[in-house]
Amino acid sequence: MAITNFAHMKPWKNSYDDLCLFEDAVLEDNVSGNKAKKHYIDAIADIRNVLERMLQEMVELNGISDGKLSEVQEKKKAKNKRDVIVYISALEECECISKTSADNLHKLRIFGNRAHHKTKEVSKDIPYEQKSPEELKRIAENEVYPRLYRETYLFANQYIPEAKSRKSTRVTTGTNSSGKVAASGGDRKVASGPSATDIILAAVKIFFVLLVTAIMIAMIMNFPF
């Protein structure tokens, strides 16, 4: 289970490079003491950059509007509508990601925040600077790595392709992000009337209906009850 095997992540080079660095840091065994503590804290802190890039691209590809982001920002009492917590919540509310992915992404966000504010208490957890190297290694290997692996895999293989497909459909059909047909100006086609074949088929159907009706009336007239 290696993030570096994700060849499909290479188009997102910065994210791919950060993931490789994180994996190398987690799997590194030749660190100990205070050096190990800084090693794991820095590795966990760096995943915030990966999250920000992934989520920003997801939001843009799914056409989530600034209005929606502002709405979520107000609900979450976030400082900025571009905050990671706003992106995750907006994507979940718009059903662009599953609840499981949203939960994982929120947890990764919190891990990243705790590592970034390593001397402060975040989410009622003791500062990372006060944790042992062994505990930090456990968090990186067992808490962060599996979630990061799962979500980057889904990002590259499922969510991004689905978002691109939805975007392509909106462009092809002329629909906007709300699903309504968008005006196409001078390119709009005028609906054409029925073809000659359609008219002939309709006339034949009418003829047969009238014929059957006439036969039934004649039968009733000749054979009264």
Q: Are residues 154 and 216 in the same domain?
A: no
For residues 131 and 59, what is the distance between their CA atoms, to the nearest angstrom?
A: 35
Q: Is residue 93 part of a domain?
A: yes
Q: Are residues 153 and 51 in the same domain?
A: yes
Q: Is residue 48 part of a domain?
A: yes
Q: Is residue 24 part of a domain?
A: yes
Question: Domain range for residue 140?
Answer: 3-173
For residues 43 and 46, what is the distance between their CA atoms, to the nearest angstrom?
A: 5
Q: Is residue 169 part of a domain?
A: yes
Q: Are residues 218 and 152 in the same domain?
A: no
Q: Pull the structure tokens for residue 117.
A: 């504010």
The model's pTM is: 0.69
Distances (CA, A) of 42 to 73, 83, 116, 156, 180: 28, 20, 8, 25, 46
For residue range 75-113, list pLDDT tens digits in order. 999 999 999 999 999 999 999 999 999 999 999 999 998
For residue range 16-25, list pLDDT tens digits in order. 777 888 888 8
Q: Is residue 207 part of a domain?
A: yes
For residue range 129-165, list pLDDT tens digits in order. 888 989 999 999 999 999 998 998 888 888 888 888 8
Give the count of beta carbons closer than 10 Å to the beta carbon of residue 224.
5
What pLDDT does residue 183 have? Answer: 32
What pLDDT does residue 97 have? Answer: 94
Q: Of the candidates 102, 124, 131, 166, which has an alpha carbon nearest to the alpha carbon of residue 38?
A: 131
Q: Is residue 67 part of a domain?
A: yes
Q: Is residue 117 part of a domain?
A: yes
For residue range 179-204, list pLDDT tens digits in order. 333 333 333 333 445 566 667 767 76
For residues 37 and 45, what is the distance between their CA atoms, to the nearest angstrom?
A: 12
Q: What is the crossing angle of helices 145-154 and 33-61, to 10°? A: 20
Q: Are residues 156 and 199 in the same domain?
A: no
